[in-house]
């Protein structure tokens, strides 16, 4: 009994004595949290149910500074095209990160339930973009990292 108690105390002591830098966030800036490639799939956006998985659109966020990124939206079907928006400002909100361009909100980045391309549910970062370019064209995207 005494050996078991000593062993439990030893294990508790070893787990409580971790280095402080081990618990610090790895991305101290908003851009560091947001950068990456975001893929959509038929579970996140059912509008693409008839599109092959290799032809689904994706968005990429590239860091410019600590609080701004460049948004690159690539569409592969029916015509391959790419749309870039520079100087997208990031703002921390209670439920995630808000993306703004030219003074208007264009999207959000939140930690939420996401569905992978094979239908499995997991916790992940969900990027939602919704903006109107002109009366005929809009950019709507939902994807996960």
In a domain, 68, yes or no: yes
Looking at residue 134, what is its pLDDT?
63
Any alpha helices (H) in 27-101, and if so which ranges?
30-34
In a domain, 2, yes or no: no
Is-contact 59 38, C-beta < 8 A? Answer: yes
Give the mean pLDDT of 73-93: 91
Give the mean pLDDT of 66-72: 93
Q: How many domains does the chain have?
A: 1
* E strand residue ranges, 22-137: 36-39, 58-65, 68-75, 81-93, 96-101, 104-115, 121-132
Domain that holds residue 42: 25-144
Tell me which DSSP letter residue 103 carries: T
In a domain, 20, yes or no: no
pTM: 0.76
Confidence class for position 26, pLDDT limits 50, 70, 90: low
Give the mean pLDDT of 92-108: 92
Give the mean pLDDT of 60-65: 94
Q: What count of other Cβ atoms lies within 10 Å of the Cβ of residue 23?
A: 7
Exposure on the CB side of residue 21, measured as CA atoms within 13 A: 0
In a domain, 106, yes or no: yes
């Amino acid at each position: 009994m005494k050996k078991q108690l000593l062993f439990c105390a030893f294990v508790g002591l070893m787990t409580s004595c971790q280095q402080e830098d081990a618990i610090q966030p790895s991305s101290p800036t908003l851009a560091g949290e947001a950068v990456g490639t975001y893929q959509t799939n038929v579970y996140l956006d059912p509008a693409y149910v008839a599109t092959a998985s290799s032809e689904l659109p994706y968005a990429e966020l590239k860091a410019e500074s600590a609080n701004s990124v460049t948004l690159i939206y690539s569409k592969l079907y029916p015509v391959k095209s790419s749309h870039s928006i520079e100087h997208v400002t990031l703002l921390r909100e209670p439920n995630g990160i808000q993306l703004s361009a030219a003074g208007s909100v264009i999207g959000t980045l939140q930690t939420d339930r996401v569905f992978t391309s094979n239908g499995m549910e997991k916790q992940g970062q969900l990027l939602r973009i919704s903006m109107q370019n002109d009366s005929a064209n809009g950019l709507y995207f939902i994807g996960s990292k």
